[in-house]
Amino acid sequence: MSINYQNIINELEDIKTIIEPEQLKKLSQDYYYFSPILVDKLADKRADLVVQPTTEEEILKIAQMCVKYQIPLTVRGAGTGNYGQCIPLNGGIVLDMTEMKKIHWIKNGSACVQAGVKMATLERATRKEGWELRMIPSTYKIATIGGFFGGGSGGIGSINYGQLRDRGNLHRVRVVTLEKEPRILELKGDETQQINHAYGTNGIITELEIPLAPAYQWLDVIVTFPHFMDAAKFGQDLADSDGIIKRLISVHASPIPEYFTALKDYLPKGESCALLTVSDNSLNALSELVKEHQGKITYQENLEKKNSLNLIEFTWNHTTFHARNIDPNITYLQTFFFSLEKVEEMYKYFGDEVMIHLEFMRVGGKAIPAGLQLVRYSTPERLNEIIQYHEENGAFIANPHTYILEDGGRKQIEPEQLKFKQMVDPYGLMNQGKMKAWTENN
Ligand code: FAD
């Protein structure tokens, strides 16, 4: 059925809508272009209408409208995802959640917030109460908390708290369904896994209750090493040093530091580096560990200080961002190495073609090096060969060159998640084309 969007706008009455073509283009995109494979597939995708609700009641009304006219609906936070997660494949409505930004309460190490609140705003508020977010992506300044749980995986803080999907990292959510009569569901504890990293295929998250971490005074620290494997071993040792309070251990093989032009005064040419966030009362212990590993501290500064370099914005996928600013031919991989021996093996095998960038994180209670390696891209076939080589040799790749849930890190959809989708989105209107199990079964 062809849809008259002017009628939809009229029926939505006071709810804010956007139909101006340049805005539609902007609000239909994310950072998918980090992948040359996704560029060809997603560059021309557009929503027909963007809707910006401010309340749950408005969201229920929009859901009702989508069901009534069978309009595809794609939820969007800040649109900072890397795999086209919030790009509408079949047009329809993009539901922009950024005006759903109320912080309801912060108490006893938990916070209850609307899904569109920016993580930087939330963290400023929690810090006033002595708490901070357990983990944030390097895009925390603009990314929303709903988008992080919908499309992210972990980040700064994952060295202590693991990944978003780990039990205990999400207490409760409220979700609007796209059933014949849309309703609000409350999911608690393990039930929240139904919407975790589901790319908004399983209902619209309107509210989240999340656990927090005690807030520290953080220092940014740069440590440099002449040899990459020394930097990597230091990273692992720091990750395993339970007495040193840290939030970030990000290790970069030469020549990656050369892409960090704003940090050039602190990064000797040809050396590898570790970018760290540690508590200020851990600095002495850190210095002793650095000495033991024969590294050199070239920068240390309080994160709160005005004009601080904010090392966070050089880590996680911001590393790829800076490298691509200098060489747009660079793309990336996401890898679980599980051991430094595996890192060394790949480092030696691929040389300069796959430059090693490690983020240390806790997986199953153990600190491991995870890779966000930079790849000098040549052809899709070569990229696949590189991925295949990793997988055949004991490194797990969460492929960032696909927008399909199961072809990325997920590998397969849990049967409960598919069952949940069948209940909350029986017409398959939400983020069409992203969940293979649904497409194949309907
Ligand atoms: P969006 O990109 O808008 O949405 C992400 C997904 O969630 C989409 O599928 C969307 O449909 C769904 N969604 C959004 N809101 C809702 C909702 N209310 N209900 C249901 N579904 C919803 N990711 C990390 O995990 N860690 C990192 O450190 C990290 N660093 C990054 C660095 C760069 C430079 C870039 C470009 C990306 C990075 N990312 C990282 C990816 C991304 O920034 C984060 O996952 C971020 O949290 C996404 O939030 P967002 O608000 O932009 O979500």
The per-residue DSSP string of 297-348 comes to: EEEEEETTSTT---GGGGSTHHHHHHHHHH-TTEEE--EE--SHHHHHHHHH
Query: Which pLDDT tens digit goes with each residue over 90-148?
Result: 999 999 999 999 999 999 999 999 999 999 999 999 999 999 999 999 999 999 999 99
The three-state secondary structure class of 248 is strand
Q: What is the pLDDT of residue 289?
A: 98
Ligand 1 centre and the CA of 120: distance in Å?
14
Read off φ and ψ for residue 375, nearest 5 degrees.
-115, 130
What are the start and end residues of each CATH 3.40.462.40 domain in the chain? 218-303+335-397
Q: What are the per-10-residue average pLDDT scores of the chain (442 residues)? A: 92 97 97 96 97 98 98 98 96 98 97 98 98 98 98 97 97 98 98 93 97 97 98 98 98 98 97 98 98 98 88 98 98 95 97 98 96 98 97 95 88 83 97 93 83
User: Which mutation among 55, 60, 80 tests ligand 1's pocket best, with the greatest number of atoms within 8 A of CB?
Assistant: 80
Facing residues of 416 across strands?
A: none
d(CA 260, CA 319): 8
Cα(400) to ligand 1 centroid in Å equals 13
Ligand 1 contacts (CB < 6 A) are 30-31, 74-82, 85-86, 97, 115, 137-139, 143-144, 146-148, 150-155, 199-200, 204-205, 316-318, 321, 431
CATH code: domain 103-214 is 3.30.465.10
Q: Which helix (H) or strand (E) holds 171?
A: none
- E strand residue ranges, 54-166: 73-76, 93-96, 103-107, 110-114, 131-133
Residue 243 Cα, ligand 1 centroid: separation in angstroms?
Answer: 32
pLDDT value at residue 413 = 80
In the chain, residues under CATH classification 3.30.465.10 are 103-214
Nearest in space to 193 (alpha carbons), one of 164, 228, 216, 224: 164
Q: Which mutation among 119, 148, 199, 260 tests ligand 1's pocket best, with the greatest number of atoms within 8 A of CB? A: 148
Residue with CA closest to ligand 1 atom 20: 200
How many angstroms does the Cα of residue 148 sit away from the middle of ligand 1? 5
220: Cβ–Cβ under 8 A, 6 or more apart, which residues?
275, 276, 277, 299, 300, 301, 302, 303, 308, 309, 310, 311
Ligand 1 atom with the shortest distance to the CA of 140: 47
Ligand 1 atom showing the smallest separation from residue 321 Cα: 34
Q: Which of the listed residues 317, 402, 403 should we mutate to test ligand 1's pocket, taking the one with most ligand atoms within 8 A of CB?
A: 317
Q: How far is the CA of 340 from the centre of ligand 1 (A)?
A: 29
| Ligand 1 mean position, distance from CA 88 (Å) | 15
Task: State how far Cα 61 lies from the chain centre.
Answer: 29
- Choice from 38, 76, 357 to test ligand 1 binding pocket (greatest atom count within 8 A of CB): 76
Q: How far is the CA of 381 from the centre of ligand 1 (A)?
A: 28
Supply the residue whose CA is at minimum distance from atom 26 of ligand 1.
137
Give the closest residue (by CA) to ligand 1 atom 25.
152
Query: What pLDDT does residue 347 have?
Result: 98
Which is the closest atom of ligand 1 to the Cα of 76? 3
The complex's ipTM works out to 0.99
CA distance 300 to 218: 10
Among protein residues, the one with the nearest Cα to ligand 1's atom 53 is 147
Query: How many CB atoms are located within 10 Å of the residue 324 CB?
Result: 18
> For 277-334, what is each residue's pLDDT tens digit?
999 999 999 999 999 999 999 999 998 888 889 999 999 999 999 999 999 999 999 9
Instruction: Give 226 Cα–ligand 1 centroid separation in angstroms.
Output: 35
The CATH T-level fold of domain 218-303+335-397 is: Vanillyl-alcohol Oxidase; Chain A, domain 3 (3.40.462)
Give the C-alpha separation, 143 to 161, whole Å: 19
